[in-house]
Amino acid sequence: MAKKAKMVVDKEFKIAEIDKRIYGSFIEHLGRAVYGGVYQPGHMSADENGFRKDVMELVKELEVPIIRYPGGNFVSSFYWEDSVGPVAERPKRLELAWRSLETNEIGLNEFSKWTRAVGAEVMMAVNLGTRGIADACNLLEYCNHNGGTKYSDLRIQHGVKDPHKIKTWCLGNEMDGPWQVGHKISEEYGRLALETGRAMKLIDPDIELVSCGSSNTGMPTFPEWEAITLEHTYEVADFVSLHQYYGNRFNDTANFWAQSVDMEHFIRTVTATCDYIKAKKRSKKTMNLSFDEWNVWFHSNQEDDDIMKNNPWQKAPKLLEDVYDFEDAILVGLMLIVLMKHSDRVKMACLAQLVNVIAPIMTEENGPAWKQTIYYPYLHASKYGRGIALQPVISSPKHDTIDFTDVTDIESIAIYNEEKEEVTIFAVNRNLEEDIELTCDVRCFADYRIIEHIVLEHENMKVVNSPKGEAVTPKCVDRSELNDGIITSSLGKASWNVIRLGKSK
DSSP 398-421: EE--SS-SSEESEEEEEEEETTTT
Largest CA distance in the chain: 75
**Catalytic one of 102, 226, 293, 457:** 293
Concerning whether 437 is annotated as a catalytic residue, the answer is: no
**Catalytic one of 28, 141, 174, 411:** 174
- Comparing CA positions, the residue from 147, 149, 145 lying closest to residue 164 is 145
Tell me how far apart the alpha carbons of residues 225 and 223 are, in angstroms, rounded to a whole number: 5
Give, as one character, the DSSP assignment of residue 443. Answer: T
Tell me how far apart the alpha carbons of residues 16 and 340 are, in angstroms, rounded to a whole number: 9
- Sheet containing strand 422-429, strands side by side: 14-17, 388-390, 410-417, 422-429, 495-503, 448-457, 475-476
Q: How far is CA 458 from CA 161, 329, 432, 470, 494, in A?
A: 51, 11, 11, 12, 8
Give the contacts of 115 (CB within 8 A, at least 6 positions apart). Answer: 67, 69, 121, 122
Look at phi and psi of residue 285 and say left if phi exceeds 0, alpha if psi is from -120 to 50, else beta.
Answer: beta
Contact assessment for residue 23 and residue 349, using Cβ atoms and an 8 Å cutoff = yes
- Comparing CA positions, the residue from 190, 170, 177 lying closest to residue 222 is 177
- Cross-strand partners of 423: 416, 501
Q: How far apart are the first and last CA of the chain?
A: 38
Contact assessment for residue 390 and residue 13, using Cβ atoms and an 8 Å cutoff = yes
Write out the E strands in 458-494: 475-476, 480-483, 486-491
- Residue 243: HSE in the Cβ half-sphere, 13 Å Cα cutoff: 24
Tell me how far apart the alpha carbons of residues 10 and 4 are, in angstroms, rounded to a whole number: 20
Contact assessment for residue 458 and residue 493, using Cβ atoms and an 8 Å cutoff = no
Concerning whether 57 is annotated as a catalytic residue, the answer is: no
Contact assessment for residue 369 and residue 361, using Cβ atoms and an 8 Å cutoff = yes
Contact assessment for residue 315 and residue 35, using Cβ atoms and an 8 Å cutoff = yes
- Is residue 378 classed as helix, strand or coil in its secondary structure? helix
> How many residues are recorded in the chain?
505
Give, as one character, the DSSP assignment of residue 55. Answer: H
DSSP 241-267: EEEEEE--TT--HHHHHTHHHHHHHHH
φ and ψ of 190, to 5 deg: -55, -45
Residues taking part in catalysis: 174, 293
